Chain A
Amino acid sequence: MSTETGDIIDLLAGIEPGSSLSNIRDLRLQARENAQKSYVSLFAPVDFGDFPATERHAVAAFVAGVHNEPAVANFYLTKLAKATNLIEPLKAEIERARTEGPYGAFPAGPLSVEDKKGPIYLVSDSGRRALGTRLAAALEHAHLLVFRPRDAAPAAMQALLDAGWPTTSIVTLSQLVAFLSFQVRSVAGLRTLGASLGRTAAKAS
């Protein structure tokens, strides 16, 4: 069955149509509809360019997975039905890549006292063989964006170009990782709020 027609944030946050939280979301209807359009534009675009659906879902599953948001990660992993060979290597990379952020360095100066060290993630050799050079480069870039975005530098763009990501696909990849960073937080925030409403307002089933 397709879940594409329903609101994905509602689905993942467990928001029922007609519930008080759904009605509150409707106060920002354009934001709600365009969060959904962002999802559709990233995962069912008019033009996939040279960034196929499999890679899009794999990167999304990785981003949600390293956020430790299993419901969202599983949603994207189940989209890999035509590339099930990627699922186990992806899960293994998610386990290896998980850490706590944000960390990284500021431009040298007064903020340097706030520099925070943390791991620089590289895909394992076996993961690289299973996922391929291009997808491996995308996961390493996704990790940079999720955990240490202030470490981003032109060299990261060069690494993507070298791995076969042209400029336009780098833009879409960046949007996808950044959108997922928004989506998992929308889901987590609304899920938490929804749970608290459930406690304070007894609802007829």
Chain B
Amino acid sequence: MGDSVIVHADNREPVAFTQDELGWLPWINPLPEAELTDRHWAGLVDRSRAKSDYFRLLVRDPEVLEARTKTDKDIFYNTADGLPRAERELAAAATSRYNGCIYCASVHARFATVHSKRRDDVQRLLDEGIGADLGARWNAVVRASVALAATPIAFGQQHIDELRSVGLDDAEIVDVINSAAFFNWANRLMLSLGEPAARSGA
């Protein structure tokens, strides 16, 4: 069913990076909730995700969605040891800012603010871009994330040296690599399967 493109002619896409809550509108058809089988429910991981067009679109390939979701949750929510959550979210927001995913940046900038209480610094990353001066430690996380997001990949020994110089140990550096690498996955799905909307309801 539903092999056609959905055009949202009346949507006004946000034209700037923001920490506000945005919606997201799919360009191809999500599965209707009524058609979800047990295999799809397993792929959604959280049943509440059936309310999201984004996840009901990705659940067309349930096994890939399930594995992606579990990778995502562990990289960001498993805060036993390692990098503070705020800086993992900073890596996600910086990657999204650089790749140009206004929707992803909005979500993870908000999380970075919640966990760091540094709303103004987070906003400067969004407003000024990846060159904003956020202090030595955050600058190192942003620079490493951006270098990893570049194609060809520009991440090198100098980024590891800079992360170490601001106090990160090897496990924390792996958290930076995981968080930034993961958002090169997330950004490309969000950007290519639909568009953000300046209202709630993704």
Please give the residue numbers on chain A whose beta carbons come within 8 Å of chain B beta carbons, in ascending order.
20-21, 24-25, 27-31, 33-35, 37-38, 40-42, 45-46, 66-69, 100-102, 104, 106-111, 114, 141, 144-147, 149-150, 152, 154, 156-158, 161, 166-168, 170-172, 174-175, 177-179, 181-182, 184-186, 188-190, 192-193, 195-197
Contact = CB atoms under 8 A, between A and B. Distances in A.
Given A20-B170, A150-B100, A175-B58, A181 B185 contact: yes
B48 interface: no
Contacts of A29: 74
B61 A171 contact: yes
B164 to A, nearest CB: 9
Interface in B40-69: 57-58, 60-61, 63-68
A107 B156 CA distance: 32
Interface string B153-196: 10111011000000000110111011011101111110111000
A110 to B, nearest CB: 5
B60 A154 contact: no
Given A27-B174, A157-B27, 11 more contacts: A41-B63, A109-B16, A149-B188, A157-B193, A161-B4, A170-B28, A189-B177, A190-B174, A193-B170, A196-B157, A197-B170
Q: How large is the interface on B (under 10, 10 to 19, 20 to 34, 35 or more residues)?
A: 35 or more
Interface in B94-125: 98-102
A158 B63 contact: no
Contacts of A196: 157, 160
A145 B188 CA distance: 6
B185 to A, nearest CB: 4
Given A150-B100, A181-B184, A168 B63 contact: no
B78 A30 contact: yes
B152 A68 contact: yes
B195 to A, nearest CB: 8
A104 B100 contact: yes
A181 B98 CA distance: 15
B61 A100 contact: no
B7 A154 contact: yes
A150 B185 contact: no
